[in-house]
Amino acid sequence: MVNVGLVGYGKAGMAVADVLAADPRYNLRWVARRHPHAEGETVTAGAQAVPVVGLAGGGVEAWLDAHPVDALVDFSQPDAVFLYGEALRQRGVALVSAISAYSNKELDYVRSLGEHTRVMASPNITLGINFLILAAKLLRSIAPFADVEILEQHFREKPEVSGTARKIAQTLALDEERITSLRLGGIVGHHEVIFGFPYQTVRLIHSAIKREAFGTGAAFALAELLNQPPGFYTFDDLLMTRVRQGLQAA
Ligand SMILES: NC(=O)c1ccc[n+]([C@@H]2O[C@H](COP(=O)([O-])OP(=O)(O)OC[C@H]3O[C@@H](n4cnc5c(N)ncnc54)[C@H](OP(=O)(O)O)[C@@H]3O)[C@@H](O)[C@H]2O)c1
């Protein structure tokens, strides 16, 4: 079984912890926050009590030596990687980072960890969205003449255009004007890529239902990453490896 530590126990981290704790491939050994909320704090993930460690106070090396893990999953904040990065590098601990908004400096540092251990970082960690992007890229390459529009729908309060929709536009070499955004009620996240052909229409749709989807994506990334040699990977890289293997086996 793979021993895992989870950094970040906020909105996303809580859902991810439940998914990892329920997955028989993984043993969720501990959860890290900035500071524990109480002395000897534990959280309940799945049915198990998981100890909590605070990273901001230092002592990461000693904690890792006393509670070793094979991999760390990060759903915290961009700068947290500077607190644990060297400890991972020295111990060869793998990293799955879901942080969506690394600065260039932070991302360069995360990439540098890939020189010594296995690292995957992706601002989009659901299997569904990454599959949608792959399928859209494929269709675009074989039908460059089709009209393409992107539709994204989110909860009423989301102010900005979806980063995922912008990533889809960028991947398909489309102007961001091709994105239509709707803000309605409590929609968690809906992305649709519409290909208009003369005599047919193809719609690729992804709807996020619950944050647990981030946990499923992290579990997939962990399993695939641990099969790779040390290096820096994106979710795309790991997915493409699986797709190639699937096509060769077919
Ligand atoms: N890639 C994806 O698809 C995806 C999807 C969802 C979220 N995310 C990313 O996940 C992250 C968390 O999102 P969220 O909505 O869950 O945020 P959130 O509710 O604000 O939770 C943030 C968590 O990170 C912890 N934290 C912050 N700085 C830390 C540090 N230096 N060391 C250790 N722990 C630290 C916080 O600790 P305390 O509990 O002590 O405050 C808290 O538990 C964001 O970076 C977001 O971009 C990515």
Nearest of 132, 114, 140 to residue 217 by alpha carbon: 132
Same domain, 42 and 112: yes
Domain extent at residue 102: 2-125+212-249
Task: Report CA(115)–ligand 1 centroid distance (Å).
Answer: 25
Q: State yes or no: pLDDT of 36 exceeds 90.
A: no
Same domain, 90 and 202: no
Same domain, 226 and 142: no
CATH of the domain at 133: 3.30.360.10
**12 pocket-lining for ligand 1 (C-beta < 6 Å):** yes
Q: State yes or no: pLDDT of 101 exceeds 90.
A: no
**The pTM is what?**
0.92
Same domain, 85 and 132: no
Same domain, 61 and 180: no
Same domain, 111 and 173: no
Nearest of 28, 24, 61 to residue 43 by alpha carbon: 28
Mean pLDDT confidence for 114-130: 95
Q: State yes or no: pLDDT of 57 exceeds 90.
A: no
Same domain, 224 and 118: yes
Counting the structural domains of the chain, the total is: 2
**CA–CA dist 154, 162 (Å, integer):** 8
CATH of the domain at 240: 3.40.50.720
**100 pocket-lining for ligand 1 (C-beta < 6 Å):** yes
Task: Report CA(184)–ligand 1 centroid distance (Å).
Answer: 25
